[in-house]
Amino acid sequence: MDELNYKSYRIDAENICVDYHGKVALYDANLRLKAGQICGLVGMNGAGKTTFFNALTGFVNISKGKIRINGESLRIAQQDQSIAYVPQSEGIDSQFPVSVWDVVMMGRYGSMNILRSPRESDIQAVKDAIERVDLMELSSTPIANLSGGQRKRTFLARAIAQRASILLLDEPFAGVDIRTEKLISELFIQFKNEGKTILLSTHDMIHVREFCDLVLLINKTVVAYGETSEVFTPENITSTFGGMSPDVLFGPES
């Protein structure tokens, strides 16, 4: 692929392999996403979804393949804060005395100096992010006092504050209330219109059909990838989930 072509992709992952202590966690995985695309990453537990996320962010080393982010190496993407990752389980102790504002400000750390002294632009970015997830009234509230949905919105706001061009979200709808689910869905459409690229893992098949342009079905490798209307078929889903019927997994389609 020539340079002009690969630079047209936000995410360009080619033949990615990841090994853990001699055990293959992911092999020959490919993914290409452009600006403004939303892609669902679907597979059973242990299928390699989190491993794929970790490879794209540089959290784990790949044993084979190549990853380009916005046409550049992972190292440059990390320096540019190009990717914001929201894992399913956050590493912050909910009992630690840290507020919504403090957590969202963490999204600006990569843009600050070594003393982490926020500039006016950092403060404004945090305000904007908290407003977008409708938590301004709770900005000084310790995260230990938040509901599960409010915490999810807080960590999504941290990613928004980073102002990355790519968002990776691991099970963003898991354990949230209806209000948070609706807000997140609306934000995804806004992100798409803003030209952000979103890759999200989910077990919620309704959301995949609702707003994912593309779907990547994974079971240690890519089972199928392409437009949701063409790829998200009962046959492909059955192959992805080890031969189990889609009706058993998700119930019959309405």
Q: pLDDT tens-digit profile of 213-226?
A: 999 999 999 999 99
Rounded CA gap, 227 and 206, in Å? Answer: 15
Residue with tokens 């079971």: 219
Given this model, what pLDDT does residue 21 score? 82
Length of the chain: 254
Please give the share of the chain, as a percent, with pLDDT higher than 90.
66
Tens digit of pLDDT for each residue in 62-114? Answer: 999 999 999 999 999 988 999 999 988 766 666 678 999 999 999 998 877 77
| Architecture, CATH, for domain 3-82+164-250 | 3-Layer(aba) Sandwich (3.40)
Whether 1 has a pLDDT exceeding 50, the answer reads no
Average pLDDT, the chain: 88
- Give bridge partners of residue 29 from the DSSP assignment: 16
What's the whole-model pTM score? 0.87
Segment holding 20, helix H or strand E: strand 11-20
Question: What pLDDT band is residue 212 in, cutting at 50, 70 and 90?
Answer: very high
Whether 184 has a pLDDT exceeding 60, the answer reads yes
Give CA angle at 108 (70, 142), nearest 5°. 135
Tens digit of pLDDT for each residue in 22-31? Answer: 889 999 999 9
Please give the share of the chain, as a percent, with pLDDT higher than 70.
90
Mean of pLDDT values over 116-124: 90
Tokens (6 digits) for 121 = 């632009």
Mean of pLDDT values over 128-135: 97
Who's near 174: CB < 8 A, 6+ residues apart?
88, 203
When comparing pLDDT for 240 and 246, which is higher?
A: 240
Given this model, what pLDDT does residue 175 score? 83
Give which of 107, 103, 100, 98 is closest to 125, Cα–Cα: 107
Domain boundaries, the chain: 3-82+164-250, 94-163
Q: Which amino acid is at 31?
A: L
